Structures are given as structure tokens and as C-alpha cells.
Amino acid sequence: MMIMQYIYPFTAIVGQEKMKKALILNAINPKIGGVLIRGEKGTAKSTAVRALADLLPEIEIVEGCPFNCDPNGNLCDICKEKKKRGELKTTKKKMKVVNLPIGATEDRVIGTLDIEKAIKEGIKALEPGILAEANRNILYIDEVNLLDDHIIDVLLDAAAMGWNIIEREGVKIKHPSRFILVGTMNPEEGELRPQILDRFGLMVDVEGLNDVKDRVEVIKRVEEFNENPEAFYKKFEEEQNKLRERIIKARELLNKVEISDDLLEFISKVCIELGIQTNRADITVVRTAKALAAYNGRTYVTIDDVKEAMELALPHRMRRKPFEPPQLNKEKLEQMINEFKQQNNKDNEEKEEHKDDDVKKNMMK
Ligand SMILES: Nc1ncnc2c1ncn2[C@@H]1O[C@H](COP(=O)(O)OP(=O)(O)OP(=O)(O)O)[C@@H](O)[C@H]1O
């Protein structure tokens, strides 16, 4: 008999709204580029990530594929061959969290091929790496600031290209490599290089809860969950289903979401004004703002979406002195948002006046 393992529900996490939102937005569009969560131990970081994987709908995969290929998306070399032979079968699988151990080697990350075995036994010689397991799942790197720089580069390159190549002596296997990247770090143990910071889509700072009521609620919920996980899960089931549906709808809506040229210009202006060099900033703000619009059931981006997206996508891309924590110039941002809103109101009023004039003219005709 299979024993059902219950995961602490995402919707039962008390507070930590920014972290939850950043994770949800990446679930809506993984191309946002992941989340770096900075903060103290024991603040629900790993609980939230495990809960997200459990909350998200199952993924459709090619049966038996070590890379979880999407039958309707990009295929690995093995699945391509299967498709040609008409042997592609599909199945469904729950998403999972793949942990990257701190001491992981390049071979362990990328995967390996035993050439001698490959010649004798074909594909059995393949040893898929962490990138294979992570494809279409969540890749979780605890204490990313302690990870070897070279391993981070390998990972982030694969994530940016969306492909990983396992290669030995001229024999190659290429497979899709898309995942929601979540890194955590305790800033007291050292900062990340700016180049690496820039490769994380979003960043959030999590702090321990400072409200007594919230902390008591955490104790009660965690104890209740431990005593009877099934009953606790049932209690949150409706809320979990609602959130899952909302994410599914947002994914469907995402391609239809539009952003005005005025807002695009505004985003670039803010980035320049804040001294942010990397174009990844502007691109990530747009993707995040679109995901926010879709999450709110809209097909257009508003200035408030842009503001919220900037608070998640810009702080770690601000220029700063060594050892200073990443921070957003909130006052400057607030001022520019207000100016944009005022200008927009003025433009709208003028448009309304023109409309009135046109109506009057038409009536006099
Ligand atoms: N806001 C919260 N809501 C619900 N449970 C919480 C909250 N904050 C902490 N917890 C509980 O506290 C415990 C520790 O949380 P968790 O393991 O997720 O911490 P973490 O941030 O990943 O830290 P670490 O890196 O030490 O693992 C868990 O039992 C978790 O359920």
C-alpha cells in the first residue's frame, strides 16, 4: 500500500507575502528567471518551495524520458528518435524540488556518458545529471553564495539557453533544460558576485515574523500539521485548489497580456535613472509585470504592476559599494511613479477634452 505523503500547504504559510508572490510569478512564467531569497534560517524558505511544487498542476511528460520531455514542446535527442519511430507515449507526473548539493561536481550537474558502454549497450550508458532531473521542475540551491562559481555559471548558462548538452568524445545528447531556479542565501555568510546576482530574475528579503499573533499562528499550524497532516491538508484544500486554478488561468492568459509603449519607456527611464546598466533589468520587469497582470486576470499591464515588478526585479541590480546589501532607491522610484501617474492623468484629461470637442463639433454639423 502506498502511503500518501502530505506536504505543508502553500496557502497555510503565514505572511511572507513577497516571497510567496515571487514564487507564484515564476510558476506563471519560468522565463522570469527564478528567485533569490535572502534571509535568516527558519523563515519558511524551503517550506514554501516544497509547497509550491506540491501546489502546481502535474506536468505531462514523455513516458520513461530521463529528462521529463514535454511531448508538446522541445524534445531531447532520445525522444526525437522515439517520435520518428512513432513510439512516443505520454504520462503525467507531479512536479518536484531538486536540491543542488553544495559540493556537486560539473559531471553531476551536467550528466555523463560512458563511451565504452554506449558503444556496447546504447543509451544505458547515460547517467543523467541534476539538470536532467530539474527540467520542468524546481531547482533549489540552498546557500547559493557558498556554491562554486564555475558550477553556478554552468547552471545559469543552461537555464539561459534552455538546453543542456551531455558530451563525451564527440558523442552528444542534447536535452531541454528549463526549471524554476530558487536560490537561498544568508547574507551574513557573504554576498554574491554582481554578475551572478543579475542572473536571478527576482530577489526577495525574508525576515522572521515580528508580530506575536503571526508567530503563535505559525506554532499552532505547524503543530496541527504534524499531529494530523491529512486533516490539516483537508482544511486548506479549497484554498489550495483556488490558488492552483488561478495560476493555471494566469498561464493561459499570459500570451495575451500587452504593455503600452508609454510603460516600456517608463521602465527603461527608471532603470537609467537608477544607474542600472543591465538590460536584463528592463526585460525582467516587463515579464514580471505581465505575469502580475495575468495573475490578476487582466490582459493589460498597469503602472501598479510595473511598480510591484520593479520592487522584485531591481534591488539586486542596483549598483552598490562592496559589502553593502542590495537596496532599491524607493524614494526615487516613488517619485517617478507619481510623475508618471500625474502625466498620464493629464494626458487622459486632454484626450477627454478632445473627445468632448469632437462630440460638440459633430452635434453642430
Ligand atoms: N511563515 C511561516 N508559516 C508557516 N510555517 C513557518 C513559517 N515560518 C517558519 N515556519 C515553520 O518553521 C520551520 C522552519 O522553516 P523552513 O525549514 O522552511 O526554514 P528555512 O527558511 O528553509 O530555513 P533553513 O534554511 O534553516 O531550512 C518549518 O516547520 C516551517 O513550517
C-alpha cell at 234: 483537508
Binding-site residue numbers for ATP are 40-47
Chain-centre distance of CA 290, in angstroms?
Answer: 13
- Out of 221, 280, 287, 317, the active site residue is 280
Rg, C-alpha atoms of the chain: 24
Quote the pLDDT of residue 71: 86
Query: CB atoms < 10 A from the CB of 91, how many?
Result: 13
C-alpha cell at 322: 562592496
Q: What are phi and psi of 143, to 5 degrees?
A: 55, 55
Quote the pLDDT of residue 73: 85
The fraction of the chain above a pLDDT of 90, given in percent, is: 42
Query: CB atoms < 10 A from the CB of 309, how many?
Result: 25
**Nearest one of 47, 15, 54, 49 to 35, comparing CA atoms:** 49
Which of 43, 50, 102, 210 is the pocket-test mutation for ligand 1 (most atoms within 8 Å of CB)?
A: 43
Query: Does 140 score more than 70 pLDDT?
Result: yes
Query: Atom 11 (ligand 1): residue with closest C-alpha?
Result: 44
Closest atom of ligand 1 to CA, residue 13: 3
- 46 Cα to the center of ligand 1, angstroms: 7
Binding-site residue numbers are 40-47
Which of 218, 223, 227, 233 is the pocket-test mutation for ligand 1 (most atoms within 8 Å of CB)?
A: 218
Quote the pLDDT of residue 186: 86
C-alpha cell at 75: 524534445
Query: Does 214 score more than 80 pLDDT?
Result: yes
Classify the phi-psi angles of 173: left when phi > 0, otherwise alpha if psi is within -120 to 50, otherwise beta: beta
Residues in the ligand 1 pocket, defined by CB under 6 Å: 8, 13-16, 41-47, 142, 209, 218, 221-222
Which of 35, 45, 47, 224 is the pocket-test mutation for ligand 1 (most atoms within 8 Å of CB)?
A: 47
Q: H or E stretch including 183? A: strand 180-185
Quote the pLDDT of residue 358: 58
Domains and CATH numbers, the chain: 10-58+94-253 (3.40.50.300), 261-364 (1.10.8.80)
Query: Atom 26 (ligand 1): residue with closest C-alpha?
Result: 41
Quote the pLDDT of residue 203: 93
Active site residue 280: yes
Angle between helices 330-364 and 261-273 in degrees, nearest 10? 150
Query: CB atoms < 10 A from the CB of 239, how many?
Result: 13
Query: Atom 28 (ligand 1): residue with closest C-alpha?
Result: 44
**Nearest one of 170, 147, 172, 174 to 161, comparing CA atoms:** 174
- 326 Cα to the center of ligand 1, angstroms: 24
C-alpha cell at 349: 484629461
Which segment of 72-76, 176-180, 274-278 scores lowest on mean pLDDT?
274-278
Query: Does 233 score more than 70 pLDDT?
Result: yes
- 44 Cα to the center of ligand 1, angstroms: 3
- 215 Cα to the center of ligand 1, angstroms: 11
CA–CA distance from 27 to each of 23, 123, 287 (Å)?
6, 32, 12
- 124 Cα to the center of ligand 1, angstroms: 40
Confidence class for position 80, pLDDT limits 50, 70, 90? confident
Measured distance CA(353)–CA(275) in Å, rounded: 38
Query: Atom 1 (ligand 1): residue with closest C-alpha?
Result: 14
Q: Model confidence over 87-132: pLDDT tens digits?
A: 888 888 888 999 998 888 888 898 887 766 555 555 557 788 899 9
C-alpha cell at 47: 517550506
Closest atom of ligand 1 to CA, residue 40: 21
Confidence class for position 218, pLDDT limits 50, 70, 90? very high
- 103 Cα to the center of ligand 1, angstroms: 24
The alpha helices in 205-322, defined as continuous H runs, are: 212-227, 229-254, 261-273, 279-295, 303-313
Closest atom of ligand 1 to CA, residue 225: 31
Query: Does 24 score more than 70 pLDDT?
Result: yes
